[in-house]
Amino acid sequence: MKHLTMENITERFLKYVSYDTQSDPKSNTTPSTEKQWELANYLVGELKDLGLKDVSIDENAYIMATLPSNVDHKVPTIGFIAHFDTSPDYTATNVKPQIHKNYQGEDIVLNKEHDIVLSPSYFEDLLLYKGQTLITTDGTTLLGADDKAGITEIVSAMEYLMAHPEIKHGPIRIGFTPDEEIGKGAHKFDVKKFGAEWAYTMDGSQVGELEYENFNAAGAVVTVHGKIVHPGYAKGKMINSMLIASDFINALPKNEIPQETEGYEGFFHLADMQGEVEKTTLEYIIRDHDKTLFEKRKIVMLETAKEINQKHGSQAIEIEIKDQYFNMREKVEPVMHIVDIAEEAMKALDIDPLIKAIRGGTDGSQLSYMGLPCPNIFAGGHNFHGRYEYVPVESMIKATKVIVKIAELTAKKY
């Protein structure tokens, strides 16, 4: 595409990842961290400078803007959405991206001092990108391609469409959100104000990914109560909450954990544990694509706690389970033409669509239940939430082209 260059995409992406926008699951504010405002305010200024219309940012840092239609007939308003926060799982302070041109399938030394290596022997997807330009971390932080690659692509696509009025399109709304990584990205998203009939989140990984199914998700806090007494006189008196917690952990299905599952298989994931004799807290996430199996997983946790409590003759274990989001398939299937348009756009650009279920969730899953059907499209990054994260520049360019083509096809079909 004319004026859509490696240099422009790279420069924009590197600017975005220079901002530390890590979110905080323990915060009660929106955004959950004050530092997210810095990139949010920068983006607002950039969108205004590009000439987009109706640029706004609300009190919770939700950003919206419009690219007006350039056709004289009515076309549905469509949207493109990405999030600007990064995962709380790994530091995003002082990101130092490294650029590797003409990658040939070799090991990439991210950090020689600490012997941190990004290797295709472990991350096989690297071999898909021979001959391309990769942007990686320096091994000490995450990169932030999740989802600053998505923002890069959306802004670049709007800029390109404005520079090429010969490409006909209807009205396009764009939205950037905080706190997606802590499951709150859509909580305060004003769907009515956004005003789109449907949208796409640019938040997937490998080139070609097109997803309209995701996990049903819940979080569970398991609190185990014990009793502390002097260990020298503990016989028949001490109740060690950590040992009871261990019983609970071991009672759940051992092969239904993230590292043992794939595809549509669900899991129980012990994400955090804090313990001492008197009290131990376990934090789980519960995931399954199938709604019935998802509900059964919650029952398994409750029944396991009940059995252990009966064994100890007390209410040693308490569980609080909260649903987080649901499988968007239920909301997207009645409007499958929005997936068909994205698939057609990819094929028109010689990109093989990889239609599969997300082993996770996006803002789109929640937005779909809020009345905005919202499939997910690849943004190009890999190995999110850690030091091995990388993104090929060519993948970001392809994602940008997909956005442009979706806009063009929508205008032609209506």
CA dist., res. 121 & res. 93, Å (int):
28
Structural contact between residues 13 and 152, judged by C-beta atoms closer than 8 angstroms: yes
The amino acid at residue 142 is: L
Nearest CA to 322 out of 214, 203, 222 is that of 222
Contacts of 150 (CB under 8 A, 6+ apart): 82, 83, 201, 202, 203, 379, 399
Nearest CA to 53 out of 44, 42, 66, 62 is that of 66
Q: How many CB atoms lie within 10 A of CB 305?
A: 21
Nearest CA to 120 out of 132, 130, 111 is that of 130
CA dist., res. 62 & res. 57, Å (int):
5
Q: Tell me which of 180, 181, 203, 288 is the catalytic residue.
A: 180
Q: Encoding tokens for residue 409? A: 């096809």
Q: Encoding tokens for residue 65? A: 């803007």
Annotated catalytic residue 180: yes
CA dist., res. 114 & res. 163, Å (int):
45
For residue 323, list its beta bridge partners: 218
Nearest CA to 327 out of 282, 358, 284 is that of 358
Q: Tell me which of 85, 179, 213, 288 is the catalytic residue.
A: 85
Annotated catalytic residue 89: no
Residues with active-site annotation: 85, 180
